[in-house]
Amino acid sequence: MKIRVLTVGTRMPEWVESGWEEYNKRMPPELRVQSVEIPLGSRGKSQSPKKAIEAEGVAILKAVGEKDYVVALDVIGKGMSTKKLATSLMAWQMEGRNVSFLIGGPDGLSSDCIKRADMRWSLSDLTMPHPLVRIILMEQLYRAWTITTNHPYHRQ
């Protein structure tokens, strides 16, 4: 099983890279998470954000494996507890299916990305900057893994 996080946006600040790496290095070798950065679509005064979102969506979907289980991080998705994420992580491992998490750009994910998703997950009702979402997702994946292995990191 491979886990990939497909994110719109490149050249993240050092604190984002550092946070991502900190949690990823804690993951066991068989669950290391691959980050795939998708360039932002062109945005300008004379261009609608819709075209940028569509271009980003095309690039994201090209990077998604045909048989991947796809989780779209979406503000109007369904909330999920860390324990539920741990249960899902175990199920994905048992299935041996690759998982792709999709994080859109500043204007969100394209409708085609949402349609392709097997699950729409909202991390929070709060609005968060997309670089921070990467770190929160990695911490939650690490925490979910610790639950599945009875590691003391997660406390009830």
- Inform me whether the pLDDT recorded for 140 exceeds 90: yes
**Do 33 and 138 touch, CB atoms closer than 8 A?**
yes
Tell me the pLDDT tens digit for each residue of 50-97.
999 999 999 999 999 999 999 999 989 999 999 999 999 999 999 999
In whole angstroms, give the CA distance from residue 20 to residue 149: 21
Tell me the pLDDT tens digit for each residue of 114-127.
999 999 999 998 88
In whole angstroms, give the CA distance from residue 26 to residue 4: 16
In whole angstroms, give the CA distance from residue 155 to residue 71: 26
pLDDT band at 98 (very low <50, low <70, confident <90, very high): very high
pLDDT value of residue 15 = 96
CATH of region 3-148, choose from 3.10.20.30, 3.30.360.10, 3.40.1280.10, 3.40.228.10: 3.40.1280.10
Task: Tally the C-alpha atoms within 13 A of residue 20's C-alpha that lie toward its C-beta.
Answer: 20
Tell me the pLDDT tens digit for each residue of 8-57.
998 899 999 999 999 999 999 999 999 999 999 888 887 788 999 999 99
CA angle 83, 87, 89 (to 5 degrees): 110
Token look-up 């998982």 returns 99
Domain ranges of the chain: 3-148
pLDDT value of residue 129 = 87
In 3-state terms, what secondary structure has residue 155?
A: coil
In whole angstroms, give the CA distance from residue 140 to residue 19: 12
Beta-carbon contacts of residue 116 (< 8 Å; ≥ 6 apart): 61, 64, 70, 72
